Each structure stands twice: as structure tokens, then as C-alpha cells.
Amino acid sequence: MGTKGSANRQRIVDAADHLFYSRGYNQTSFSDISDETGIPRGNFYYYFKTKEDILAAVVDARLVEFRVMLQNCEKATTDPLQRLHSLVQFPLHRESQVLKYGCPIGSLSSELVKEQDTEISQARLTAVFDLLKNWIEEQISELGQPARANDFAMDLLARMQGVIILSNVYRDTAFLHKGIKDIQNWLNHTLSN
């Protein structure tokens, strides 16, 4: 175990990760996390100074989760276009959660941009978007179109967020599938120049 070892710490982060996703950060209390882990409230302060510190740990955890996801996209194939397809399909592997709770980074970001105080977690949040954005840019560059990489990455992220939001609001599984298919068609069309 490193500096962040301890099984209990990890259990707290896991429960918080799940609860922040399903209920939202502000709607999740220490009691909720305590109920889910069986670890008493007061104990949290041995591992974290504040609730915001737990949030930071959760965001770090999501960063790791997304890195793993991207690595899986890379393992699947060496073709950058296919890798992008792999990324786009990812929400389908989490379909029921996406329909119920939206995007793990998009919905959390939306909640945290409203935060008046803390600007700290703000930077952490765009870090997850940046991770995806940079990875997409790499794939585009490998396709020999580095000049379009930035614009394209932003467009792709925007489209995915839009499809997920609408699917979530209407709990519309058909639209989620159709929206992703449309993005894939757009991928093929726009990257074959």
C-alpha cells in the first residue's frame, strides 16, 4: 500500500463514487456513505479532512477509470478510426446507468460549475474532459490530420454529451443507440477525407 493505501479508504472512495454519480455530490451525505460502507461517519476524518477531499479522491478515481477505458480502446485495435469507434460505443456498455444518471463526468461537471466557493475541484473536473480530448486528438493526428484535431475532439465530445443528456432526460434507450450510431456514421464520413 502506498500513501493512499488502506482498504477502508478505498471502500469510502468507491461508495462515494457510486453515490455522487447516482444522487449527485451535494445530495450525498456522510451518513449515506456510512450506510453503504458500514464505516461510521466520524471515521471518515481519519482519511479525509473535508467532504471536498473525498470529492477530489473520487475525481482521481474516475480519471483512473477513464484511463483504463482508453487503454482498452487501444488494446482492441491499432487503427485510430476503430479506436474512436470503440470510445463512442462505450456508453452502451453502461447503458442502464447512463439512462438513469447521465454521464459520470458530464453530470458532475454540470453540478460543480455552479459551485460558488471552491475553484479547486473545477480544475480537476476539466482534467477528465482533457484526458478524453487529448486522446481523441492523438487518434486524429495519427490519421494524418493534426490541424483538425482540436476542433474535431471538441465536436465529438459535444455530440456525445448531447446524446447522453437527451437519452437521460427522456430515459430513451432507442435514442441513445440511434444517437451513437449517427455519431459513428459522422466519424466515418468526416475522417475519410
Q: Please report where in the chains the cell 437527451 appears, as a residue.
A: 166
For position 170 contacting DNA by CB under 7 A, the verdict is: no
Closest CA to 99 of 170, 18, 157: 170
Q: For the window 159-188, what string marks contact with a copy of itself as x by the rule CB under 8 A?
A: xxxxx-xx-xxx-x--x--xx--x------
Among DNA, a copy of itself, none, what does residue 190 contact (CB within 5–8 Å per kind)?
none
Buried b (16+ CB within 10 A) or exposed e, 74-85: eeeeeebbebbb
Residue type, 109: S
Stretch that binds DNA, among 36-44, 71-79, 129-137, 146-154 (CB under 7 A): 36-44
Among a copy of itself, DNA, none, what does residue 6 contact (CB within 5–8 Å per kind)?
DNA
Q: How far apart are CA 16 and CA 57, in angstroms?
A: 9
Residues 56, 81, 127, 157: which binds a copy of itself (CB under 8 A)? 157
Residue type, 27: Q
For position 118 contacting DNA by CB under 7 A, the verdict is: no
Among DNA, a copy of itself, none, what does residue 189 contact (CB within 5–8 Å per kind)?
none
Element (H, E) at 98: helix 95-101
Q: How far apart are CA 145 and CA 147, in angstroms?
A: 5
Q: How far apart are CA 111 and CA 49, in angstroms?
A: 22
- Give the per-residue SS3 of 38-50: CCCHHHHHHHCCC
- Where along the sequence are the contacts to DNA (CB under 7 A)? 5-6, 8, 28-32, 39-43, 45-46, 49-52
- Where along the sequence are the contacts to a copy of itself (CB under 8 A)? 22-24, 26-27, 100-102, 106-107, 109-111, 113-116, 125-126, 129, 151, 154-155, 157-163, 165-166, 168-170, 172, 175, 178-179, 182
